[in-house]
């Protein structure tokens, strides 16, 4: 690690944050060089602000000195968005973690970036309200991180993704100016939509310090259903049939044959060998709607090729059905110590094709490929499992080929994880040279000296 | 200074441990999180690091084991830290181990001649607490009236743990009374410590020696049931079964260990309530299984007693309590701040009860055994 801060710079950080909240020692810095992507680069220092004023002063100074700034909450992203590839100062948002207001009339919450998403959900639920975005990391990731990556989740098929719930935000720009965008208003067509530009910008445009989030009334009831099909084509056909009928689930997950096989290794999943693919659905709403929904689903699946379907109408049974989905991650690690986790998104009609192609590519390189995910959005989690170095080279080739096919069918290389550093190579192939240039120019307007999370996303 | 001779390569850095780690959630300091410790251990042999600073970070752990319970890779960080401590002894941990080892003698000092506490600064620091803790009145809100034995009699023996044996003999007396309803209870044995304090402090030989002593006593008594009322003792006795090579004996040992609260909840039809406290906080010890805790919770629910739950770790910390008392004090105090400093906290682990007393000396910190009274 080359030391990149001089004594004067260190002194500045100490005076701004105090010795307890500035780190320079390698042993303390180590974890801040990585995230759930497992990539690593050394930061120069870590600071832990507890006030917005500190961030303003820091960004004034960093812009002047040309020191990179990397916002970091709990670093659960899997694309290396928090890895300081150009060095710089990691700014931890963990101490900016207050829920400032939950308004039962405006249906909004005002929060700081370090609030854990599940904690916000619990608090709003106490008031009969609902914050729907639910990425898999909902218990451990933060609102700030979710907004930076525009996180999706299971419920996106009905409720949309994180960006659909951001009504307003405060952003500190490089140089220290605070930009206040939006607010408690639900509609706003004045000027360009800079707030939406910020969501999913992976920390490259500014430092988020405050959010106003949209809330919904809490659904009264729910039902979950696990359905087994003889093929993925049949599963997709029937899933689209129920969407056409106006039955919009709050979660619509699928699991392919490989996933079923590996879950069976660690969990008593009692399904016949004829079942090739599983569809897991959840519907929420008022009790009358749920009752209607259950009747309609029975009709649809009775007339379909479904091999079985099992309903969970009480929370305990629902939880049991969803346990199958939760088993995917631990079960997958039986197939390899490491994995490359892709989150491609394709038009729904292309799901069977892309799953088939992904598996064929895996076979070509002798690597196991598992496919599951958010069928309703066409958002597929492709897990490329590998162990050891030789296997890793094959896995990387598999990743490249799958991403190429994804782009060819009109899909995206990332539906919800973001680009970070791990998908940068494919960014231009998807969006084109011109769009990428425009993105770079936009960044230059907000951050002329390129200090905000440089080397990421685009 | 020894180098550490292993690393954790299986950690996915997913961060699931962040949600449950009391040290991380109490400090918001990421380098103290289990994920950070696992990464530090992983990089030790790759990157030149100052081992004193590394040990300082690794020492910020209270040994609750919650990270292991949610880890998708089943990484048992507590056991790894124990091995590291074993290979890098320090004076403070030695003193702590000696303190646990000599608790019978120390408890006499604590309770009867507080002037001599200067020899162990840790105990001196909390000198006022010990007598309050030991002399605290029991709550006696659950009046147990039994007319006849409930089940057919098997042999059993009570394992009181160090705190129950030397500082709170009232718990042992009540445990005997409950156990006698189900079993033919043998006389108390000269048990050694359950071993968990030694294990976490890296005194692995002592932990093993204690286990062997306890295992031999059990065999000498013809393998009776062992009734335990401290969740951590229960956890430790079960965990040490891996030291028994013979599979059938290991199974017998595991089957013989019973948590007293699992028995007690079956007595609800014999209980009358004499409620002179408004409500209490039922604390979930980290080392009590969800199933046992749910049984205790449903038991109080069916009695219609008003209580709230605390599922955050008490932060007792074993040898970390001696090495980083400020950290453990802060974690304990944060629970009192959350539930209210005038609250009554009830736990099923002797260590938690002591920790709550240490962090709020004027408080009302109780074992659930303190709630009951035989009439």
Q: Which CATH class is domain A221-329?
A: alpha beta
User: Is residue B99 predicted with pLDDT exceeding 80?
Assistant: no
Residue A25 main-chain phi, psi, to 5 deg: -80, 140
**pLDDT above 90 covers what percent of chain A?**
91
Question: pLDDT digit string (tens) for A320-340?
Answer: 999 899 889 888 888 887 889
User: Is residue B147 predicted with pLDDT exceeding 90?
Assistant: no
Compute the average pLDDT of residues A176-183. Answer: 98
Two structure tokens written together for A330: 């631990």
The two beta strands, B372-374 and B344-347, are unpaired
Question: pLDDT digit string (tens) for B251-277?
Answer: 999 999 999 999 999 888 888 887 777
Compute the average pLDDT of residues B159-176. Answer: 89
Residue B206, Cβ density class (10 Å: 0-12 exposed, 13-18 middle, ≥19 buried): buried
Q: What is the band of B242 on the pLDDT scale with cuts at 50, 70, 90?
A: very high
Q: Where in chain B is the domain with CATH 3.40.50?
A: 273-374
More confident: B73 or A142: A142
Compute the average pLDDT of residues B140-151. Answer: 72
**Given this model, what pLDDT does residue A38 score?**
92
User: Is residue B45 predicted with pLDDT exceeding 90?
Assistant: no
Tell me A164's DSSP state: G
CATH architecture group of domain A7-92: 2-Layer Sandwich (3.30)
Q: Assign A76 to helix, strand or coil.
A: coil
Q: Where in chain A is the domain with CATH 3.30.43.10?
A: 7-92
Q: Tokens 């120390």 — which residue?
A: B106
User: Is residue B133 predicted with pLDDT exceeding 80?
Assistant: no
Nearest Cα to Cα of residue B348 among B373, B366, B326: B366
> Per the CB < 8 Å rule, is A36 touching B43?
no
Q: What is the DSSP string of A96-126?
A: ---EEEEETTTTEEEE-TT-BHHHHHHHHHT
Tell me A276's DSSP state: -
Q: Assign B75 to helix, strand or coil.
A: coil
Question: pLDDT digit string (tens) for B72-83?
Answer: 888 999 999 888
Nearest Cα to Cα of residue B202 among B298, B90, B336: B90
Q: Assign B123 to helix, strand or coil.
A: helix
Q: Assign A141 to helix, strand or coil.
A: coil
Residue A172 main-chain phi, psi, to 5 deg: -90, 125
Question: pLDDT digit string (tens) for A368-423?
Answer: 999 999 999 999 999 999 987 678 899 999 999 999 999 999 999 999 999 999 99
Cα B146 to Cα B161: distance, rounded to the nearest angstrom? 26
Q: How far is CA B69 from each of CA B72, B77, B168, B305, B350, rounded to the nearest angstrom?
A: 9, 10, 30, 30, 21
**Given this model, what pLDDT does residue B274 score?**
78
Q: Are B328 and B62 in contact (CB under 8 A)?
A: yes
Taking the mean position of all CA atoms in its chain, how far away is CA A75?
A: 12
Q: What is the band of A296 on the pLDDT scale with cuts at 50, 70, 90?
A: very high
Please give the residue of chain A at the shortest CA–CA distance from B18: A140
Q: Are B195 and B240 in contact (CB under 8 A)?
A: yes
Compute the average pLDDT of residues A302-309. Answer: 94
Partners of residue A37 in chain B, C-beta under 8 Å = 13
Compute the nearest-CA separation of A310 from chain B (Å): 26
Question: pLDDT digit string (tens) for B183-239?
Answer: 999 988 899 999 998 898 888 888 999 999 999 999 999 999 999 999 999 999 999
> Per the CB < 8 Å rule, is B57 touching A28?
yes
Q: Are A318 and A282 in contact (CB under 8 A)?
A: yes
**Given this model, what pLDDT does residue B91 score?**
53
Q: Which of A18, A19, A24, A30 to mutate to test the interface with B (most CBs of B within 10 A)?
A: A30
Compute the average pLDDT of residues A295-299. Answer: 93
Question: pLDDT digit string (tens) for A202-231?
Answer: 999 999 999 999 999 999 999 999 999 999
Cα A280 to Cα B346: distance, rounded to the nearest angstrom? 41
Q: Are B126 and B358 in contact (CB under 8 A)?
A: yes
**Given this model, what pLDDT does residue B130 score?**
64
> Per the CB < 8 Å rule, is B50 touching A27?
yes
Please give the residue of chain A at the shortest CA–CA distance from B55: A27
> What is the average pLDDT score of chain A?
95
Residue A222 main-chain phi, psi, to 5 deg: -155, 165
Compute the nearest-CA separation of A367 from chain B (Å): 19
User: Is residue B331 predicted with pLDDT exceeding 50?
Assistant: yes
Compute the average pLDDT of residues B333-340. Answer: 94
User: Is residue B119 predicted with pLDDT exceeding 50?
Assistant: no
Q: Tokens 């038991």 — which residue?
A: B299
Tell me B163's DSSP state: I
Residue B78 main-chain phi, psi, to 5 deg: -60, -45
- Interface membership of A241 toward B (CB under 8 Å): no
Residues near A106 by Cβ (< 8 Å), separated by ≥ 6? A184
Q: Which CATH class is domain B273-374?
A: alpha beta
Is CATH 3.40.640.10 what the domain over A99-217 is classified as, yes or no?
no
Please give the residue of chain B at the shortest CA–CA distance from A334: B73
User: Is residue B116 predicted with pLDDT exceeding 50?
Assistant: no
Q: Are B233 and B194 in contact (CB under 8 A)?
A: yes
Compute the average pLDDT of residues B291-310. Answer: 92
Please give the residue of chain A at the shortest CA–CA distance from B58: A27
Q: Counting one residue from A and one from B, how many pairs have CB atoms under 8 Å apart?
A: 78
A335-417: CATH topology: Alpha-Beta Plaits (3.30.70)
Cα B12 to Cα B8: distance, rounded to the nearest angstrom? 10
């Amino acid at each position: 690690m080359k030391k990149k801060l001089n004594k004067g710079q260190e002194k500045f950080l100490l005076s701004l944050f105090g010795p307890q909240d500035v780190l320079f020692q390698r042993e303390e810095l180590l974890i801040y060089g990585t995230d759930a992507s497992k990539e690593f680069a050394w930061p120069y220092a870590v600071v832990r602000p507890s006030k917005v004023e500190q961030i303003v002063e820091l960004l004034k100074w960093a812009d002047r000195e040309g020191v990179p700034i990397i916002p970091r909450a709990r670093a659960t992203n899997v694309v290396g968005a928090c890895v300081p590839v150009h060095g710089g100062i990691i700014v931890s948002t963990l101490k900016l973690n207050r829920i400032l207001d939950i308004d039962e009339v405006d249906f909004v919450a005002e929060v700081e970036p370090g609030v854990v998403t599940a904690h916000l959900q619990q608090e709003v639920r106490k008031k009969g309200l609902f914050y729907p975005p639910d990425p898999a990391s909902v218990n451990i990731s933060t609102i700030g991180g979710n907004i930076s990556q525009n996180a999706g989740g299971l419920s996106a098929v009905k409720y949309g993704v994180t960006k659909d719930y951001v009504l307003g935000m405060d952003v500190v720009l490089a140089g220290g100016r605070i930009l206040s965008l939006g607010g408690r208003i639900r509609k706003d067509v004045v000027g360009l939509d800079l707030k939406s530009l910020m969501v999913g910008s992976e920390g490259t445009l500014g430092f988020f310090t405050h959010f106003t989030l949209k809330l919904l009334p809490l659904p009264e009831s729910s039902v979950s259903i696990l359905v087994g099909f003889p093929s993925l084509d049949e599963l997709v056909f029937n899933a689209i049939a129920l969407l056409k009928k106006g039955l919009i689930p709050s979660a619509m997950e699928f699991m392919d044959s490989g996933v079923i096989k590996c879950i069976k290794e660690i969990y008593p999943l009692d399904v016949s060998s004829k079942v090739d693919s599983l569809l897991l659905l959840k519907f929420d709403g008022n009790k009358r709607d749920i009752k209607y929904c259950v009747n309609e689903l029975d009709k649809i699946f009775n007339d379909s090729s479904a091999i079985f379907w099992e309903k969970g109408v009480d929370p305990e049974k629902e939880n049991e059905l969803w346990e199958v989905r939760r088993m995917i991650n631990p079960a997958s690690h039986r197939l390899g110590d490491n994995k490359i986790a892709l989150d491609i998104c394709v038009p729904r009609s292309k799901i069977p094709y892309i799953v088939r192609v992904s598996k064929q590519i895996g076979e070509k390189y002798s690597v196991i490929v598992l496919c599951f995910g958010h069928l309703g959005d066409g958002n597929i989690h492709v897990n490329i499992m590998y162990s050891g170095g030789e296997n890793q080279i094959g896995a990387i080739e598999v990743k490249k080929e799958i991403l190429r096919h994804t782009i060819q069918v009109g899909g995206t290389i990332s539906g919800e994880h973001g680009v970070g550093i791990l998908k940068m190579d494919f960014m231009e192939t998807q969006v084109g040279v011109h769009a990428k240039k425009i993105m770079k120019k936009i960044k230059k307007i907000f951050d002329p000296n390129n200090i905000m999370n440089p080397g990421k996303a685009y | 200074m020894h180098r550490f001779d292993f690393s954790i390569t299986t950690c996915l850095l997913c961060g699931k441990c962040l949600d449950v780690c009391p040290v991380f959630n109490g400090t918001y300091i990421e380098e103290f999180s289990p994920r950070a410790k696992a990464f530090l251990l992983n990089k030790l042999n790759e990157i030149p690091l100052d081992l004193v600073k590394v040990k300082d970070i690794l020492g910020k752990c209270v040994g609750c084991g919650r990270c292991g319970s949610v880890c998708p890779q089943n990484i048992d960080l507590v056991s790894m830290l124990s091995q590291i401590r074993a290979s890098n002894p320090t004076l403070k941990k030695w003193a702590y181990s000696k303190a646990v080892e000599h608790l019978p003698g120390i408890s006499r000092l604590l309770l009867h001649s507080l002037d001599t506490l200067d020899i162990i600064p840790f105990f001196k620091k909390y000198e006022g607490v010990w007598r309050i803790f030991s002399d605290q009145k029991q709550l006696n809100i659950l009046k147990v009236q039994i007319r006849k034995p409930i089940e057919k009699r098997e042999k059993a023996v009570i394992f009181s743990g160090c705190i129950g044996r030397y500082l709170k003999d009232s718990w042992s007396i009540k445990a005997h009374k409950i156990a006698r309803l189900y079993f033919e209870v043998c006389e108390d044995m000269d048990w050694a410590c359950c071993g968990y304090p030694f294990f976490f402090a890296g005194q692995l030989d002592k932990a093993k020696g204690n286990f062997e002593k306890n295992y031999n006593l059990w065999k000498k008594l013809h393998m009776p049931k062992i009734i335990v009322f401290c969740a951590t003792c229960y956890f430790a006795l079960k965990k040490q079964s891996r030291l028994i090579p013979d599979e059938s004996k290991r199974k017998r040992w595991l089957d013989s260990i019973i948590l007293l609260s699992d028995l007690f909840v079956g007595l609800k039809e014999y209980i009358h309530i004499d409620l002179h406290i408004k409500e209490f906080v039922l604390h979930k010890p980290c080392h009590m299984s969800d199933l046992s805790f749910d049984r205790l919770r449903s038991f109080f629910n069916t009695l219609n007693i008003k209580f709230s739950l605390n599922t955050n770790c008490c932060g007792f910390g074993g040898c970390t309590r001696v090495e980083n008392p400020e950290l453990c004090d802060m974690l304990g105090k944060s629970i009192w701040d959350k539930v209210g400093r005038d609250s009554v906290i009830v736990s099923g682990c002797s260590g938690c009860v002591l920790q709550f007393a240490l962090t709020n000396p004027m408080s009302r910190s109780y074992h659930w055994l303190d709630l009951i009274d035989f009439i």
